[in-house]
A and B are shown apart, each in its own frame.
Chain A
């Protein structure tokens, strides 16, 4: 199965900062990569699908890029509600797999 590795494990930033989260795949997933946000006690929320498409209702400060094995989620200017855990997920091969997550915490 395809292994997704996220970096960093924890990111400490302040509101207004720019956040850059990375996800590497053990083999090419072409563009079939998504990003989710999860807050404590809540279900994951889809932010980005197919590498760079924002899901319905997602603010423009969230953007995704990459193809093949290297992907990035960028949050251009952090809002207080953005502090959460972020997961990448591929659907190129069965089974779909998730990265281990990046915790975005407030400095």
Chain B
């Protein structure tokens, strides 16, 4: 069974940084397409970015609002995906979910973590 567990959220001041983690079990993250999606309080869902599987090139893509500020990285030995968030703004306040297609290529979230809350406030 695929399980994803996010951690690392918290309160940070505008302009600050935070690193979120997504620990995976039941799949090997290097073989899967992995994504981060966020949801501002009381709002809808917004894709943050994705990283393709190693077989599909391992490339990353980011949504326009976070491009240049957010970066994905992976620790294959820990089977963990990271989201490094720099230059945080109040509008980045949201629950951040990681998801994966598992054995499926492409950017549909077949499996999701429980989310971690990031609050950007002075």
- A-side interface residues toward B, CB under 8 Å? 32, 34, 36, 38, 42-46, 49-50, 55-56, 87, 89, 91, 94-101
- Mark contacts of B80-118 with chain A using CB atoms, 8 A cut-off: 1 yes-contact digit, 0 otherwise: 000000000000000001010000101111101111000
- State which of A38, A91, A94 has its C-beta within 8 Å of the C-beta of B108: A91
What does DSSP make chain B's interface, helix, strand, loop or mixed? loop
* Interfacial chain B residues near A87, Cβ < 8 Å: 44-45
CB closest chain-A residue, reference B49: A95
Give CA–CA (A44, B109) in the complex, Å.
9
Number of interface residues of B (CB under 8 A): 22
CB closest chain-A residue, reference B63: A95
- B-side interface residues toward A, CB under 8 Å? 35, 37, 44-47, 50, 61, 63-64, 97, 99, 104, 106-110, 112-115
Could you pull out 6 A-B pairs where Cβ atoms are within 8 angstroms? Answer: A32-B106, A34-B109, A44-B37, A49-B110, A87-B45, A98-B44
* Interfacial chain B residues near A96, Cβ < 8 Å: 35, 47, 50, 107
